[in-house]
Amino acid sequence: MSVVQLNFSEGVSDADLDRLRAGDSVELTGRVLSLRDASAARLARALESGEPPPVSLENKILYAVGPSPPKPGQIIGSAGPTTTARMARFFPALFAAGVCGIIGKGELHGDEMAPFVTHRAVYFAAIGGLGALLARQISSATVVAYDDLGPEALIAIEIHTFPAVVIVDRHGGNFHEAARARWRRTK
Amino acid sequence: MGSPPVRDIDVSVLRDTVSRLLVEANYNIPVDILDALRDAAVREESPIGRRTLEQLVRNYEIAAAERVPVCQDSGLAVVMLEVGQDVHWVGGSLQDAIYEGIREGTTSGYLRWSVTGDPTRMLQTAGGDTPGVIHLDLVPGAEVKITVASKGFGAENMSALKMFVPADGVPAITRFVIETVDRAGANACPPIVVGVGIGGTFETAALLAKKAVLRPIDVRNGRPDLCRLEHDLLARVNDLGIGPQGLGGRVTALAVNIEVYPTHIAGLPVAVNLGCHSTRRISATL
- pLDDT for B4 beyond 90: no
Gap from B272 CA to chain A (nearest CA, Å): 19
Work out the average pLDDT over A18-28: 97
Domain extent listing, chain B: 7-28+70-151, 153-280
Instruction: Let me know: does B279 contact B30? Beta carbons within 8 Å.
Output: yes
A70 touches chain B (CB under 8 A): yes
The closest CB to that of B245, out of A65, A128, A185, belongs to A128
- pTM for this prediction: 0.95
Q: How many residues does chain B have?
A: 286
Residues 1-60 of A with CB under 8 A from B: 1, 25
B7-28+70-151 has which CATH code? 3.30.360
Helices B47-66, B31-43: inter-axial angle, 10-degree rounding? 150
- Residue B104 has a pLDDT of 96
Question: Which DSSP category does A84 fall into?
Answer: G
- Residue B130 has a pLDDT of 66
Rounded Cα distance between B94 and B172, Å, is 40
Number of neighbours of residue B42 by Cβ within 10 angstroms: 9
Between B120 and A184, the more confident residue is A184
- pLDDT for B117 beyond 90: no
Instruction: Let me know: does A75 contact A136? Beta carbons within 8 Å.
Output: no
Hey, of B37, B53, B72, which one would you mutate to test binding to chain A, going by the most A CBs within 10 A of its CB? B72
- Residue B22 has a pLDDT of 98
- Residue B253 has a pLDDT of 98
Gap from B31 CA to chain A (nearest CA, Å): 16
Work out the average pLDDT over A100-109: 97
Residues 169-198 of B with CB under 8 A from A: 185-187, 189
pLDDT band of B112, cuts 50, 70, 90: very high
- Among the listed residues A22, A26, A31, the one whose alpha carbon sits nearest the alpha carbon of residue A4: A26
Work out the average pLDDT over B92-99: 96
Sheet holding B280-285, edge to edge: B132-139, B76-84, B144-151, B280-285
**CA A11 from centroid of its chain's CA atoms:** 15
pLDDT, tens only, B10-32: 999 999 999 999 999 999 999 99
A171 touches chain B (CB under 8 A): no
Instruction: Let me know: does A107 contact B186? Beta carbons within 8 Å.
Output: yes
Q: Which domains does chain A have, with CATH numbers?
A: 23-183 (3.20.130.10)
Between B3 and B51, the more confident residue is B51
- Residue A123 has a pLDDT of 98
**CA A100 from centroid of its chain's CA atoms:** 9
Instruction: Let me know: does A116 contact A77? Beta carbons within 8 Å.
Output: no
- pLDDT for B124 beyond 80: no
Work out the average pLDDT over B1-11: 85
- Residue B2 has a pLDDT of 66
Measured over the CA atoms of residue B138, residue B213, residue B258 and residue B170, the dihedral's sign is: positive
- Residue A186 has a pLDDT of 75
- Among the listed residues B153, B137, B134, the one whose alpha carbon sits nearest the alpha carbon of residue B145: B137
pLDDT, tens only, B216-237: 999 999 999 999 999 999 999 9
Q: What is the 3-state secondary structure (H, E, C) of B47-66?
A: HHHHHHHHHHHHHHHHHHHH
- Residue A92 has a pLDDT of 96
* 3-class secondary structure, A28: strand
Work out the average pLDDT over A112-132: 96
A107 touches chain B (CB under 8 A): yes
Residues 142-161 of B with CB under 8 A from A: 152, 154, 157
Share the mean pLDDT of chain A.
Answer: 96
pLDDT, tens only, B235-283: 999 999 999 999 999 999 999 999 999 999 999 999 999 999 999 999 9
Kindly determine whether residue A183 and residue B249, on different chains, have CB atoms separated by under 8 Å. Answer: yes
Counting residues of chain B whose pLDDT is more than 90, the rounded percentage is 92
pLDDT, tens only, B55-94: 999 999 999 999 999 999 999 999 999 999 999 999 999 9
- Among the listed residues B135, B69, B71, the one whose alpha carbon sits nearest the alpha carbon of residue B105: B69
- Residue B151 has a pLDDT of 95
A181 touches chain B (CB under 8 A): yes
A/B interface, count of CB pairs below 8 Å: 160
Measured CA to CA in angstroms, residue B16 lies from A51, A59, B64, B101 at distances of: 48, 49, 21, 6
pLDDT, tens only, B134-145: 999 999 999 999
The strand pairing partners of A5, in sequence order, are A27
Contacts of B62 in chain A (CB under 8 A): 132-133, 136
- pLDDT for B128 beyond 80: no
pLDDT band of B123, cuts 50, 70, 90: confident
